[in-house]
Structures are given as C-alpha cells and as structure tokens.
Amino acid sequence: MPPLPAAVDPQALTSVLDGRWALLRADIRAQMAAEPYRDAVDLGVEAHRARAFEQLQALAATDRPGLGFDKAYGGGGDIGGSVVSFEMLGFGDLSLMVKAGVQWGLFGGAVQLLGTQRHHERYLRRIKDLDLLGCFAMTEHGHGSDVQHLRTTATYDPAGGEAGEAGEFVVHTPDRGATKEYIGNAARDGRAAVVFAQLVTGGESRGVHAFFVPIRDDAGDPAPGVTIEDCGPKAGLNGVDNGRLTFDHVRIPREALLNRFGDVAPDGTYSSPIEGDARRFFTMLGTLIRGRVSVGGSAGSATKRALALAVRYAEQRRQFTKPDGEEVVILDYLGHQRKLLPALATTYALHFAQDELVAALHDTAADAPDAPDAPDEGQRELESRAAGLKVANTWHATAAIQAAREACGGAGYLAENLLPGLKADTDVFTTFEGDNTVLLQLVAKGLLTGYKDSFQNLSPLATARFVAERVLGAVAERTAARKVVDRLSEGDDRAALGDREWQLKLFEDREQHVLEGVADRLRKAGEDPFGVFNAAQDHVLRAGRVHVDRLVLEAFVRAIGRCSDAGAKAVLERVCDLYALANIEADRAWFLEHGRLSAGRSKAVIAAVNALCGELRPHARVLVDGFGIPEQYLAAGMLEG
C-alpha cells in the first residue's frame, strides 16, 4: 500500500463528515462557540436542573428547536436538520440534549406526528417557543419495552363529567405497575404530558393511544387527580428532572385524544384508518423513531468528545524511558494505540452510517402521504435501521468512553477532565428510546420476514423440500466462502486483507450465514414457538448485530467515494481498513469456526490491525480535530500547560 501523506487538513475530514447538512453544522458550531459554556462538574441536582432549564430557554431563542416542525407553525420543515441539531448538542451537557429532546423531539414530536390539525394549531407553536413545557409519558413501572401492554387506561365517558362537558376520557392508574416512570421534565418543569394509555370505549379496549393531559395548573401545582413524584438523583443526567406520574380518574376532553391513527365519536364509536389494533399500534410507534435516531447521533457526539480528549492527552503524556533516556509519549505505545484508534475508526464508521440514516429519515418524511397508512417495506426498513444504529452507537459509546477514561489514567477519573461525566451521562443511552437487547431482536425479526413462508404451515413434503434447498444452499455458500479464503491464500497478507471487495464480501457472507441459521432454528418451532425462540435468542441477537456491521461498513465505503481531497481520502481508506479488520478480529472465533479464515489468516488479521494502528498514529490528532468540536468543549484541566 502507498504511504500516507505526512499531513492532512482536518477541515477536509470535517467536510466529509458534515455531509448533506454541512452548512447547518457550521452554523451550529458558530452558535456554540459564541456561547459561554462550562460543564456541570460541580453542581448539585437542583442547581444543575436550573442551569439546564436556563440553557433550554437560550436554545429556544434560536431557530434550532423549530427545525423539525411544520412551517405553518413557525418551524423550519427540516426533519433531518432537526436531528442533526440534537446530535450536535451531544458535544455539550447531555442533560440539555435530553431535556431538549423531551420537549421538542418527544413531546412536540408526538403532538405533531400523532395529533391532527386541531392539536397542531393549539399547541405546536407554544411548544416550539417553550411557552408550553411537556413530557412524554410512555414507560411504566411494570412495562417499559413492552409498550403494547401498558396498564394506564383512558376510558371514554360519553355523558361527560360534573362540569357538563359532553364526552370525556377518564385517565386512570389502576395499580402501582401502571405508574409512569422516569418521565423527563415531569418532576419540575412540565405542564402537560402526552400520556400513552389503553383506550377503552363502549366496554372494549382498542389498544394503546396517546392523549394530551395537563399535569400542572398555571401556578405550577399538580392538576386535580395527578400525583407527581421526583425520581431524585441519578447516576448521570441530573440536569433532567425525571419524575413519576399517576392519575386518579383524571377527566380530559374527547379532543385530547391525539387522533391521527384512531378517533372516538361523541357517542363513543371508535374509528381508524388502519385495520387491526396491533397493526395500528406498530404503525403509530413507527412514526416516533426520530427520538431513537437522535439518541444514536448524540451518543456518537459524546464518543467523539471523549476520544478527542483522550487522544490529545495521549499526545502530551509521557511515561517510561527509551534506552536513550527520553520519556515516551504514551500514544506511541501499541497498547495505547489499540485502546483508542480502533474505537476512533468505529466512530468514523458509525458517523457515516448515522448520516445516511438521517438523510433517509428526512426523505421518507418528505415523501410521506398526509393520510396515515400502515408502513410499507421502505418504512419498515428505516425503522429497523434506526433501531440497529441506535444499538451500535450507544453500545459503542459505552465501550469507547470507558476506554478513553482508562487511557487517561487517574486524570481520566477526575470530574474536571469531563470523562466521568460523559461516562455517567451516556450509560442510560443503552436503555432509553428502546432497550438495546430488545431492539436487536426487532432488527433480526425484520430480517427474518423473508423466511416467513418457510416457517409457516409446512407439510412434510414442503419441509423435505425446504431442507433439501437449504443443504444445497449451504454447499454453495461454503464453496463461495472457500473461494473468498482461497483468493487470499497467496501473496502479501496486508494487501490481501486490505482488499475492500473481500472485506465487504466477508461481512455480507457472515450476515447471510447467521441469518439462515436462525431461520433454520426457528422453522422448527412447532408447538412451542416461544421456547424455540428463547433458546435461539443468542443466535437472533448475533443476526441483528452482524447485519448492522455490514450496513456500517457499506456506509463508510460510500463516504470515502464522496471525498474529493486526496490526502483525506487516503487516511479514510486506512481508517476504514482498521474498522473492518478490528471488527473481524473481534469475531475471529466465528470466522475460524465457519471456515471463512484460515488459522494463518486469522493471525494475519491481528498483525494488520497492529500495522494500521502504527500507520494512523501520526494522524490521530487530525482525525479527532476533524470532528469539529468547539474548543471550549474540550477545556479539561489535564490538557492545560
């Protein structure tokens, strides 16, 4: 391979990273750089909440919160720009990012996407301008991931209440398990909530729907029948006022139902443009993926910040001496490079995949019809990709920020050096907006829909044919895989392992093999489908993970193709190699067990990762500078002097 250039302009990397929303990112950076900023490392809970609210008010004075709202209500009509804006908040106080996400992404987004014109006209401008602060009350004490079985009820009373209102819903918490839990903005600032509850009308439950419910009066006291508790201090994100909500027969108008996907007439008759309660429920949830996309992007920003801090520290910290007596910069040690540079490569890879996801979300929203309908294949694929990349981004953040903390030694453990706060604040990202393990299962289930005809109602003859086809397919697969391995049986290891076509083929082949293996196992479900699925859960999760790995690698390759700067492109090619080979190295057991790598080639992968770390070491600083993080967000004591 040709040697890398001696120097690369970080702005050339920034240009590739910024992509479609480059102008918006530049504008946001300028806004961020002009604002006074200091991390909340020495604040108590109440002081941190007060500061986060002040920052939220300052943010409301810009045009950024309204980017995702319709132009008719003072917004920008730019869905992708809105998500990018939330993503860049991840460079700073993540409590502000979460609080903003609750207000404008979850609360405002639910009103926009689940409501209709009457709700938009009444609430959206007030939500955008921060005149109406709100919550997103979905999760319950007894049900988090299993939203379909929430226990809060909203029972329609066509006679109305004592106030003489004709037709009201009665929102009620029947037991402790139905308590709305961990609700952002609830403990202190929220005045209303979008509450997800089982809609009951005419004695029949029609599944989970969303309702606009006031939770405080104008004086800030709990509304009649509403009980609000403070969740108190958390491991991180203490600038967010998480609380618990319960409802004791709280009456709300019939029009409080966010009725895009289902409505109740004054006489209690239920109607919906989508047939089937389950189909309607999943269609409704599918519209709310912006929050999931934003969490993944914000996790990526926090990871970039942590790696930028760790790389800068590693370039100035010295430990132990060479034979000539000179102390060694710790980033010159291979062990230190291995801590940080593969993580940096994965961060680049995930950024490019995230950028494509945001573009797809934006374009899908722009092309969506006004009338609601069940999701088509493209929408389902988008939802699956959003789930998978949220998982990849947040698990990577957890691992990479921990690695960055360790790479900075004792300095990394001091709050003033920011890494402990990043570690604590991002930890819950793997849980909210969808538990990662559950989301990976959703990704795999989506992939398996192509096999459903093979699972269902197989006669003995059809079963025999299916098995025969699978055997023939497996033979063909093994033959193709062997050709891939044989192609690398001679010649220079490094050149062979750097073959981009081979890397892509290997990722694709692994995904196909794992997915077909899951399909085979689940086809045998018989009379105990749950037992069979549960026994295959590890296989299912692997299928989801390797699918995401392939999507990420392909996105990285496409991004390199868009790079016009020769030096930056050469560096990105090596970074992509490091992402691919570090991924293969981490999964060497699978590749060896399934004949995709020989023992010799497996060892060669390790050597190639080592070599790539050495080649990229001189460019580590420019790679983190390419993220374009405003300097004031990297002001850590360990980097002074």
> What is the residue extent of each domain of the chain?
135-275
**pLDDT value of residue 471:** 42
Q: What H or E segment, with its residue span, contains residue 29?
A: helix 22-34
**pLDDT value of residue 484:** 56
**pLDDT band for position 525 (cuts 50, 70, 90):** low
Burial 263-275 (b: 16+ CB within 10 A, else e): bbeeebebebebe
Summarised one tens digit per residue, pLDDT across range 23-52 is 999 999 999 988 888 888 889 999 999 999
586 pLDDT more than 90: yes
Q: How far apart are CA 616 and CA 581, in angstroms?
A: 14
365-369, 392-396, 418-422, 554-558 — which is least confidently predicted?
365-369
162 pLDDT more than 80: no
Token output for 462: 């059809």
**pLDDT band for position 453 (cuts 50, 70, 90):** very low
Q: How far apart are CA 154 and CA 173, in angstroms?
A: 9
- Classify the C-alpha dihedral 49-54-57-61 as positive or negative: negative
280 pLDDT more than 50: yes
* Average model confidence (pLDDT) across the chain: 90
- Sorted by sequence, the CB contacts under 8 Å of residue 65 that are 6+ apart come out as 59, 85, 100, 103, 104, 128, 130
**pLDDT value of residue 468:** 46
- Name the residue with tokens 């790479």: 407
Active site annotation includes 433: yes
List of long-range contacts for 445-451, beta carbons under 8 Å, 24+ apart: 445/540, 446/380, 446/381, 446/383, 446/384, 447/384, 447/515, 447/543, 447/544, 447/547, 448/515, 448/518, 448/519, 448/522, 448/543, 451/519, 451/522, 451/523
469 pLDDT more than 60: no
140-149, 368-377, 480-489, 587-596 — which is least confidently predicted?
480-489
467 pLDDT more than 50: no
229-238, 442-451, 560-569 — which is least confidently predicted?
442-451
Q: What H or E segment, with its residue span, contains residue 513?
A: helix 500-523
518 pLDDT more than 90: no
Please pick, among 433, 501, 511, 631, the residue that the annotation labels catalytic. Answer: 433
**pLDDT value of residue 202:** 93
Instruction: HSE, CB side, 13 Å, CA atoms: give it for residue 391.
Output: 26
Mean pLDDT value across residues 447-452:
67
Mean pLDDT value across residues 371-394:
84
**pLDDT value of residue 590:** 96
Q: Work out the percent of the chain whose per-residue pLDDT is above 70.
A: 90
**pLDDT value of residue 534:** 82
48-57, 222-231, 280-289 — which is least confidently predicted?
280-289
Mean pLDDT value across residues 407-434:
95
Q: How far apart are CA 29 and CA 14, in angstroms?
A: 12
- Name the residue with tokens 């120097």: 7
Mean pLDDT value across residues 172-199:
97
**Residue type at 465?**
R
Q: How far apart are CA 224 and CA 171, in angstroms?
A: 12
Q: How far apart are CA 119 and CA 255, in angstroms?
A: 8
152 pLDDT more than 60: yes
Q: 360 versus 518: which is more confidently predicted?
A: 360
- Sorted by sequence, the CB contacts under 8 Å of residue 38 that are 6+ apart come out as none
- Sorted by sequence, the CB contacts under 8 Å of residue 213 that are 6+ apart come out as 137, 171, 192, 193, 194, 195, 226, 247, 250, 252, 256
Mean pLDDT value across residues 160-173:
80
- Closest CA relative to residue 190, chosen from 149, 262, 240: 240
Q: Fold for domain 135-275?
A: Butyryl-CoA Dehydrogenase, subunit A; domain 2 (2.40.110)
**pLDDT band for position 415 (cuts 50, 70, 90):** very high
296 pLDDT more than 80: yes
Q: Work out the percent of the chain whose per-residue pLDDT is above 90.
A: 72
Q: Is 112 helix (H, G, I), strand (E, B) or coil?
A: helix
100 pLDDT more than 80: yes
**pLDDT value of residue 36:** 82
Distance set, CA 101 to CA 237, 365, 517 (Å): 13, 19, 39
**pLDDT value of residue 464:** 44
**pLDDT band for position 343 (cuts 50, 70, 90):** very high
Q: Is 247 helix (H, G, I), strand (E, B) or coil?
A: strand
150-159, 338-347, 377-386, 387-396 — which is least confidently predicted?
377-386
322 pLDDT more than 70: yes
Instruction: HSE, CB side, 13 Å, CA atoms: give it for residue 194.
Output: 27
**pLDDT value of residue 521:** 82
Distance set, CA 187 to CA 68, 182, 215, 238, 381 (Å): 26, 9, 11, 12, 36
- Give residue 355's Cα distance to chain centre: 12
Summarised one tens digit per residue, pLDDT across range 486-517 is 555 445 677 789 999 999 999 999 999 999 88
**pLDDT value of residue 459:** 43
**pLDDT band for position 456 (cuts 50, 70, 90):** very low
Q: How far apart are CA 51 and CA 21, in angstroms?
A: 29
Q: How far apart are CA 563 and CA 569, in angstroms?
A: 6
